[in-house]
Structure 1
Amino acid sequence: MNIYFACSITGGRKDEIIYQSIIVYLVNSGHNVPTAFLAQTNIMMKENNTTPSEIFTRDTSWIHNCDCLIAEISTPSHGVGYEIGYALNLEKPVLCLHHCDTRISKMISGNPHHLLTTNAYATTKEAITRIDQFLTP
């Protein structure tokens, strides 16, 4: 499956270890994740050489070509919110994951879109379980 993984970059990187665990799990499960590099520790430096226009074109193309989008939304991010809305507008299934002790935007929690799933998790293992449930028809 072609999965677009979305996570905070400029909004904060406190959940980087979780991002990395999710990416490792998805890739090891045989999925193609074009955004896997977003979980890397030095992503801010790598993206500094890419223009905003290039990032927009690249990322929206990946969303167009993905089967679904999985977002870790514990750290607020304008970009991730945009990507979620963009994917839903294209009728792509979206899974939003967040720490169980984190308040998320009511624009996400109140969204009735039939392809949007939002799940809280307490551990990385639980996040992986939520991903499996989402990916299994």
Structure 2
Amino acid sequence: MLKVYFTALTSYDGDFHFHYREIIRLLKKNGCQILSGTQIINQKLFNRDAKLKKTDIFKRETKLIQMADCVVAEVTKPSHGVGGEIVFALTQTKPVLGLIYNGNENKISPMLTGNPSDNLFLESYTVEQLPYKVRDFIKHINNLKKRKGKLIV
């Protein structure tokens, strides 16, 4: 089972909440174990996290990123936290899918869109395309996992 770290803007304003729920649902539908991210869509978990020390959250989340096979991030709304998680994941050579809601591509930071990492995959999406974008990324990661460690001559 593929271990996925999901991240998105955590300050709740509701704009993309449906998208976050849908991404998590699609990841589960594609057989993924969600290591983190459900607190973004679950107010009870979010409130529990708000009571934790910042250092404890940092330690927990960096450990979960290290445990993950990949990271999926909804990056349409800018966030320093999500940016930090993406950079940390890339330093750990984790593949990262950055999902950008269609029409918002020019609002994304050049620090993300200009990043030359071979492990960063930025994809624009519509709600209708989302199932295919998630499925294709998961298939790609599963294929990479199968090839890892095999010598191809």
TM-score by length of 1: 0.91
The 1-side partners of 2:66 and 2:46 are apart by 24
Superposed counterparts of 1:29-48, under 5 Å: 29-42=30-43, 43-48=45-50
Residue matched to 2:151: none
Moved more, 71-80 or 5-14: 5-14
CA RMSD of aligned residues (A): 1.6
Residue matched to 1:108: 112
| Deviating 4+ runs (over 6 angstroms) | none
Moved more, 91-100 or 39-48: 39-48
Residue matched to 2:132: 129
SS of alignment partner, residue 34 of structure 1: strand
Q: Percent sequence identity over matched residues?
A: 29
Number of residue pairs matched by the alignment: 136
Moved more, 68-77 or 42-51: 42-51
In our comparison, the structure showing a higher alpha carbon Rg is 2
| Structure-2 change in CA distance of 1:91 and 1:58 (3 Å) | same
| Structure-2 change in CA distance of 1:111 and 1:11 (3 Å) | farther
SS of alignment partner, residue 33 of structure 1: strand
The 2-side partners of 1:48 and 1:118 are apart by 30
Whether 1:5 and 2:6 are equivalent positions in the alignment is: yes
The 2-side partners of 1:127 and 1:104 are apart by 18
Following superposition, the deviation at residue 11 of structure 1 comes to 7.3
The 2-side partners of 1:64 and 1:44 are apart by 22
The 2-side partners of 1:50 and 1:13 are apart by 23
The 2-side partners of 1:116 and 1:31 are apart by 19
Q: Give ranges in structure 1 of 5+ residues lacking alignment.
A: none
Following superposition, the deviation at residue 133 of structure 1 comes to 1.5
Residue matched to 1:74: 76
SS of alignment partner, residue 111 of structure 1: coil
Q: Give ranges in structure 2 of 5+ residues lacking alignment.
A: 141-153
